[in-house]
Chains A and B, each alone.
Chain A
Amino acid sequence: MSWYTLPAGVPWLTLALLLPLIGAFLVLLAPAAARGVIKQLGILSALLTLVLMLLLLGGFQHGPGGLRFQFEEIHHWIPSLGIGYHLGVDGLSLFLLALNGLLSLLAMLIADPRTPRFKEFVLLLLVLETATTGVLLALDLILFYVFWEAMLVPLYFLIGVWGEGRKVFAAFTFLIYTVIGSFAMLVAILAVAAITAAQTGHLSFDWTVLVQHPAGAVAQGWMFLGFALAFAVKMPIFPLHSWLPIAYPATPTPALLVFAGLVSKLGAYGLIRFNLALFPAGARGWGPILATLATIGILYGALMALLQVDLKLLVAYASMSHLGFIGLGIFSQNVFGVEGALIQMINHGVIIAGLFLVVFMIEQRTGTRARSQLRGLTRPAPLFAGLFFVIALAALGLPGLNGFVGEFLIMLGAFTAYLPLAIGAGLGVILAAWYVLRFYQGAFEEVPVQPAALTEMRLNEVGALAPLLAIIVVFGIVPSFFPAAVDATVRAVLRT
């Protein structure tokens, strides 16, 4: 079933890739001084992309279908090596795609036109959107890798040029970590294609072909490791996280929304799409180890979040802790865990973007990001404090808000797979409540440090938070919003 049927024969997915690029091209042509026009162009192209993605969301045929991809496009690219231009959407990528469009639009909305070199800034944000969209749509492994790597360049420059603090160092640290992971994945991609070619007689990098011809268990273990390295760095999974406290605080907030909200989720997406689907034997071998690491990440991230004074770092560690949950769900390798992880990916993207936005607004008002700045927010700015409270409650997984469903399913999955780890993760939930409430409690009590600075939310700021809040509330009340399509895909990936 679907809400409506999109006309066939239109390359919808290519269009989704091209829209931000066209916007980037128009921005390129605009004079650098016309900052307002540039911002409008950026918003317009991001908005159109989001509309297109919502159209896809509505036109998606929900229901049992297994590994059937929709809106598929297949063209030759480098036929002599079996590399194709293969795009498609399934339950794994559908909602992330919409999240991608939403966060990119938000990034455009809050981008400050007074930023130096604003033209290049918007340009890079749009290029980043094309790259992240491509990562979600690509079904050819080389095509996927191209987008995966292409994501690095805009992020690198956004941090290295527009960042704060030790920005070049931060950009390099992030780059070196991710590139090491990426190359491990590249070798694994070449290996899995070579092994499958030996079975089938012709070389292909197509996911739909590779998934039907699993390699031997030992080879799978190695290739699993190659892919996992790339994705675990991006998420990040403990102990590959040490770039995170360096890179996140240095990233300018508009880019950080996409970076923390979506790019980290792309790592989790890759784990399901490639590691679980292509290497089931490898996943059985490595799963317990990675699930353990993910659980350590939950606790480590939560404890570190408790220690932070800088709000941006606090949210960064909270994000790491949440991603630990997602990792645990994925490596539970049962329907509950993986579906929970998928749901949590969307919800966490929304929540973390909301938290970073709040931090951004505090910083804009007071000039610093110290936790003490939140003191006494309730009195001068009740609306601000109220909206913040809703996001904070969602972050700690309160039932009735969207953070709960995913976490609950993940815990359910973890209990069936690894009981001790589930207990550890439960401890993480308690810690989450602790650090979130500590984060927030100042808002109620005491007198503000800079009372004059804590002004009420402006309308455009409410506008930026509104879609996130809507999702937080609606998905919390109607968790069955993630329908059968996700379920079917997850079951197919897990081969259950």
Chain B
Amino acid sequence: MIDTSRLGIDYGVLLPELVVTATALLVLVLDLLIPPGRRRWLAAVSALGLLLALLATVPLWGADRSAFSGTVIGDSFAAFFDVILLSTGLLTVLISPRFLRSLGLEYGEYYVLTLAAMAGMMLLAAATSLMTIFLGIELLSIALYVLAGFARRNLRSQESALKYLLLGGFASGFLLYGMALIYGATGATTLHGIAQFVGASGSSVLLLVGIGFLVVGLAFKASAAPFHMWTPDVYQGAPTVVTTFMSVATKAAAFAVIGRVFVAAFPTIRADWYFPLAFVAIVSLGIGNFVAITQSNLKRLLAYSGIAQAGYILLGILPGSSEGLAASLFYVAAYAVMNFGAFAVVTAVETRVGEGGTEIPAWTGLFYRQPLLATTMTVFMLSLAGIPPTVGFFAKLFVFRPLVEAQLWAPLAVAIVTTVISFYYYLRVVVVMLTAPEEAGRPAREPVSRVMGAILVFCSIATIVLGVFPTVVFDWARTAAALHL
């Protein structure tokens, strides 16, 4: 019964995670040695470490290396998410120093915690056992609890950290209880073992209740409705760079797990998990898109938009096919580019205007004050709405296609109706930026920092180029979605 080839110790599988962890420790030590005025160098060291980790993912492409008693695997799926996560982390680290300085928060711990969260997320992408899934989720969550409250003198930041902590702990409880029940029902903790048991004996009440609890816990991390209550408050209260990182990377990591668990471990009982997941997807689409209309704070608006986007990503999981999973993976990659860009613009505006910069009225006439910021934001908004020629369009197209093929009309209909609604609030942001400001005198243009400018241009060009030539990334997603356990 025991497959000895799966017991091996293979550090190569975890090399990217190890590099990131080592960088975190290195930064921790360097923080003690570097004088406070030079903390920018910590960002550079972190960025270098992330680049190295990116290199370390190369051997994982096309590999199928299960290791450590089948608790982790090095495969294209993991590598796909590693690339998304590491790129997001890299860009976050690059835009952070200036923002942190403007808030007086230049502490080395920021980078350590970000890297620790990264390690947790990457572990999630590679996890093939309930234990490693749990470890990854907690590693990323604990680091993010602290990061959310990183603005120590800001009450909102503190409040958001506390909310995230309490609701996150609550969700962890459900996740774990679900894992315990699944373990009880199948006698295994590795996904491979669970899949074998489920394939042979089918489902049981205990297993279904366990899966239900697991969905609750994972939906919480992916900020999918109805487990999204924390998202707007935490996104709004946390320092904007943290929100940027959290909104993209956490969601990507959560979907790595959801994809692997549902499509790879429970394919034979799709009929049983279809309804809870479809429910979560539909409610996310509805709540996210409807409530976003009423928001007057951009961070909250993007929080609700993120809830809706989680719904779209889930749509790809519903058919339970690798085609659908590939669509979801492509969507995650697209979401990473466009949502990171959108939040990065918010960060840039806030760096200039101060905390009020996240309120929508402060964006009136941005086109005339900051054409670069406004133009790139327009690209990201169009992409989030799914209008060609941006990557967001193909993300939606690819996700809708398997639904049509599987004839899942109900979720598709909801997705389409809510997408139409989403046009309202995404385009409202653009119109606000185009509206001429009331006051006659234009405020002087403050240049956007060179790094931020370069990153925004990069993200918006990527959004458009991937919207014209999606093939390369889509084919990667297809390779990654051909899962083996």
Contact assessment for B401 and A160 in the assembled complex, using a CB-CB cutoff below 8 Å = no
Give the complex CA separation of A161 and B398 in angstroms: 32
Give the complex CA separation of A147 and B467 in angstroms: 12
Pick the contact of A187: B412, B420, B469, B475 (CB < 8 A). Answer: B412
Contact assessment for A80 and B400 in the assembled complex, using a CB-CB cutoff below 8 Å = no
B166 within 8 A of A: no
B404 within 8 A of A: yes
Give the complex CA separation of A79 and B475 in angstroms: 10
Contact assessment for B404 and A156 in the assembled complex, using a CB-CB cutoff below 8 Å = no
Binds A, one of B147-155, B204-212, B229-237, B387-395: B387-395
A150 within 8 A of B: yes
Using known A-B contacts A77-B471, A186-B397, determine if residue A146 contacts B388 with beta carbons closer than 8 Å: yes
Which of chain A's residues have a CB closer than 8 A to the CB of B400? 186-187, 190
Most buried by A among B388, B400, B412, B478: B388
Using known A-B contacts A153-B382, A161-B431, A175-B427, determine if residue A183 contacts B475 with beta carbons closer than 8 Å: no
Contact assessment for B404 and A79 in the assembled complex, using a CB-CB cutoff below 8 Å = no
Which of chain A's residues have a CB closer than 8 A to the CB of B427? 156, 160, 172, 175
A74 within 8 A of B: no
Contact assessment for A142 and B397 in the assembled complex, using a CB-CB cutoff below 8 Å = yes
Q: Report B414-428 residues with CB < 8 Å from chain A CB.
A: 416, 419-420, 423-424, 427
Which of chain B's residues have a CB closer than 8 A to the CB of A117? 367
Give the complex CA separation of A171 and B434 in angstroms: 14
What's the least CB distance linking A174 to chain B, in Å? 11
A81 within 8 A of B: yes
Give the complex CA separation of A74 and B411 in angstroms: 34
B470 within 8 A of A: yes
B405 within 8 A of A: yes
A176 within 8 A of B: yes
Q: Using an 8 Å CB-CB cutoff, how does the interface string of B452-478 with A read, 1 for contact, 0 for none?
A: 000000000000000001110011001
Contact assessment for B405 and A146 in the assembled complex, using a CB-CB cutoff below 8 Å = no
What's the least CB distance linking B80 to chain A, in Å? 16
Give the complex CA separation of A152 and B387 in angstroms: 9
Using known A-B contacts A168-B431, A172-B424, A183-B416, determine if residue A190 contacts B401 with beta carbons closer than 8 Å: yes
Contact assessment for B471 and A79 in the assembled complex, using a CB-CB cutoff below 8 Å = yes
What's the least CB distance linking A141 to chain B, in Å? 11
Give the complex CA separation of A152 and B470 in angstroms: 21
Contact assessment for B404 and A80 in the assembled complex, using a CB-CB cutoff below 8 Å = no
Which of chain B's residues have a CB closer than 8 A to the CB of A146? 388-389, 393
Which of chain B's residues have a CB closer than 8 A to the CB of A116? 436
What's the least CB distance linking A131 to chain B, in Å? 9
Give the complex CA separation of A361 and B199 in angstroms: 75
Using known A-B contacts A146-B388, A150-B387, determine if residue A80 contacts B420 with beta carbons closer than 8 Å: no
Give the complex CA separation of A172 and B428 in angstroms: 9
Using known A-B contacts A78-B470, A172-B424, determine if residue A187 contacts B389 with beta carbons closer than 8 Å: no
A484 within 8 A of B: no
Contact assessment for A175 and B423 in the assembled complex, using a CB-CB cutoff below 8 Å = yes
Give the complex CA separation of A80 and B401 in angstroms: 13
Majority-rule SS of A interface residues:
helix
Give the complex CA separation of A34 and B36 in angstroms: 48
Q: Report B348-368 residues with CB < 8 Å from chain A CB.
A: 367
Q: Size range of the interface on B?
A: 20 to 34
Which of chain B's residues have a CB closer than 8 A to the CB of A80? 471, 474-475, 478
Give the complex CA separation of A161 and B416 in angstroms: 27
Which of chain A's residues have a CB closer than 8 A to the CB of B387? 149-150, 152-153
Contact assessment for B471 and A179 in the assembled complex, using a CB-CB cutoff below 8 Å = no
Which of chain A's residues have a CB closer than 8 A to the CB of B423? 175-176, 179
Q: How many interface contacts (CB-CB < 8 Å) are there between A and B?
A: 71
Q: Report A389-441 residues with CB < 8 Å from chain B CB.
A: none
What's the least CB distance linking A22 to chain B, in Å? 16
A453 within 8 A of B: no
Contact assessment for B416 and A187 in the assembled complex, using a CB-CB cutoff below 8 Å = yes
Contact assessment for A161 and B404 in the assembled complex, using a CB-CB cutoff below 8 Å = no
Residue of A nearest to B368 (CB): A117
Contact assessment for B389 and A190 in the assembled complex, using a CB-CB cutoff below 8 Å = no
What's the least CB distance linking B428 to chain A, in Å? 9
A157 within 8 A of B: yes
Contact assessment for B389 and A194 in the assembled complex, using a CB-CB cutoff below 8 Å = no
What's the least CB distance linking A247 to chain B, in Å? 15
Contact assessment for B474 and A176 in the assembled complex, using a CB-CB cutoff below 8 Å = no
A180 within 8 A of B: yes
Contact assessment for B420 and A157 in the assembled complex, using a CB-CB cutoff below 8 Å = no
Residue of B nearest to A78 (CB): B471
Residue of B nearest to A192 (CB): B404
Give the complex CA separation of A77 and B475 in angstroms: 12
Contact assessment for A149 and B475 in the assembled complex, using a CB-CB cutoff below 8 Å = no
Give the complex CA separation of A142 and B471 in angstroms: 14
Which of chain B's residues have a CB closer than 8 A to the CB of A190? 400-401, 404-405
Q: Report A31-80 residues with CB < 8 Å from chain B CB.
A: 76-80
Q: Using an 8 Å CB-CB cutoff, how does the interface string of A162-198 with B read, 1 for contact, 0 for none?
A: 0000001001100110011001101100110010000
Which of chain B's residues have a CB closer than 8 A to the CB of A76? 471
Most buried by B among A117, A147, A184, A190: A190
Contact assessment for A187 and B404 in the assembled complex, using a CB-CB cutoff below 8 Å = yes
Give the complex CA separation of A44 and B401 in angstroms: 41
Interface residues of B (CB under 8 A from A): 367, 382, 387-389, 393, 397-398, 400-401, 404-405, 412, 416, 419-420, 423-424, 427, 430-431, 434, 436, 469-471, 474-475, 478
Interface residues of A (CB under 8 A from B): 76-81, 116-117, 142, 145-147, 149-150, 152-153, 156-157, 160-161, 168, 171-172, 175-176, 179-180, 183-184, 186-187, 190-191, 194
Top 7 A-B pairs, shortest CB-CB distance: A190-B404, A146-B388, A183-B416, A149-B388, A161-B434, A78-B471, A194-B405
16 more contacts with CB within 8 A, not counting A78-B470, A80-B478, A153-B387, are A77-B469, A80-B474, A81-B401, A152-B387, A160-B427, A161-B431, A168-B431, A172-B427, A179-B419, A183-B416, A183-B419, A183-B420, A186-B397, A186-B400, A186-B416, A187-B416
